[in-house]
Amino acid sequence: MKYCKEQGIRRFLTTPYSPQQNGVAERKNRTILDMVRTMLKSKNVPKEFWAEVVQCAIYVQNRCPHAKLNEKTLQEVWSGRKLSVSHLKVFGNIAYGHVPAQQRTKPKDRSKKYVFIGYNEKTKAYRLFNHITKKVIMSRDVQIDEESKWKWNKSEKESRSMEIDTTPAMRDHETSNEEDEPLQPRA
């Protein structure tokens, strides 16, 4: 309060448990949560990924035109340059990430299967979830199959928490690595 007073900043506080007093922020939160619920349900993604989905939803929303900004995007107004949206992909799809030559030997596969979970804000890379190691990696060399999705299966042990649901066209491109367990496609 002292700092704000010294800087000539007037603070307007809201009453606890009265979100209606902050309508603009609450409306934005509602829009984001609607996007999150839709993204989670459309690909049957477990709720444990909600933070990744929120990050992805905000990334997409910052690249959507807004009427009050003369049909410019928030990102365009912020950065001063028009942005491309050609890199946007559907959350939760199967992604094939390139394994760099430095991380494999000649007989190993050149790609691994992941789940696409978003975008890296700091670099031009996609965020990919490795279902075996339970880690998120960044990769810019990715092919995303938007016709198929992961089938999340909670009845099995955590180490084998997912099966894959692929289209016949993608079965030819399946890969496995020495340290990964092979995934079985569903018919």
pLDDT tens figures, 134-178: 899 898 888 888 877 777 765 334 434 444 444 433 333 333 333
Give phi and psi for 137, each to the nearest 5: -120, 165
Say if residue 115 is in the same domain as residue 186: yes
Domain residues for the domain of 155 are 89-187
User: Whose CA is closest to 146, among 106, 91, 74?
Assistant: 91
Say if residue 146 is in the same domain as residue 169: yes
pTM above 0.75, yes or no: no
pLDDT of residue 156: 38
Say if residue 112 is in the same domain as residue 131: yes
Say if residue 63 is in the same domain as residue 80: yes
State which of 28, 57, 86 marks the end of a domain: 86
- List strands edge to edge, sheet with 185-186: 135-139, 126-130, 111-119, 93-98, 142-152, 162-165, 185-186
State which of 61, 86, 111 marks the end of a domain: 86
Instruction: Please name the helix (run of DSSP H) or strand (run of DSSP E) that holds residue 144, with its range, or none.
Output: strand 142-152
Say if residue 98 is in the same domain as residue 155: yes
User: Which residue matches tokens 């603070």?
Assistant: 11
* Distance of alpha carbon 50 from alpha carbon 45, whole angstroms: 9
